[in-house]
């Protein structure tokens, strides 16, 4: 199966396409966050998105040596044939028992659901998903 950090981000497709290596910031304490420009975010606000250590490690492995800060983190977004092949390789049905079709954006919803199911604070989930209204999150 294709393992790429792109499938593990909570970002909508347009934000993923505009993410540059210069937006990946590391704090002196080693924590990593993404600085997202207001012009690229879904809600039109600049955001500092924390990156969990396991995803920071995956991004570090994905980063080419000597890459410019102006280079895109994800120079291409997988098209549906690739996405469908990855689903099949992972044993995930494209259509679930309720008739819901899995698309790339479904990964974003999955992250929100996992956060909700693990008891994360709804306001934290709202901020991570960058929803303008808590009703959209819950």
Model confidence at 10, pLDDT cuts 50, 70, 90, reads low
Report how far Cα 56 is from the mean position of its chain's Cα atoms.
12
Rounded to whole angstroms, how far apart are CA atoms 5 and 7? 5
The structural domains of the chain, with segments of one domain joined by +, span: 5-137
Higher pLDDT, 106 or 6: 106
User: What is residue 2's predicted lDDT score, i.e. its pLDDT?
Assistant: 40
Most confident of 78-87, 91-100, 108-117, 128-137: 91-100
Q: pLDDT > 70: what percent of the chain?
A: 89
Class of CATH domain 5-137: mainly alpha
**pLDDT tens profile 43-88:** 788 888 888 888 888 889 989 999 999 999 988 777 888 888 988 9
- pLDDT higher than threshold 90 for residue 9: no
Q: Are the CB atoms for 96 and 110 separated by under 8 Å?
A: no
């Amino acid at each position: 199966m294709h393992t790429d950090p792109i499938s593990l981000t909570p970002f909508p497709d347009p934000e993923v396409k505009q993410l540059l290596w210069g937006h990946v910031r590391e704090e002196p304490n080693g924590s990593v966050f993404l600085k997202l420009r207001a012009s690229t975010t879904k809600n039109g606000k600049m955001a500092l998105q924390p990156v969990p250590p396991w995803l920071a490690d995956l991004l570090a492995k994905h980063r080419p040596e000597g890459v410019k800060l102006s280079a895109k983190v994800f120079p291409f977004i997988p098209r549906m044939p690739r996405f469908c092949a990855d689903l099949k390789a992972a044993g995930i049905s494209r259509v679930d028992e309720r008739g819901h079709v899995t698309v790339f954006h479904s990964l974003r919803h999955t992250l929100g659901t996992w956060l909700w199911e693990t008891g994360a604070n709804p306001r934290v989930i709202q901020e991570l998903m960058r929803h303008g209204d808590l009703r959209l999150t819950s």
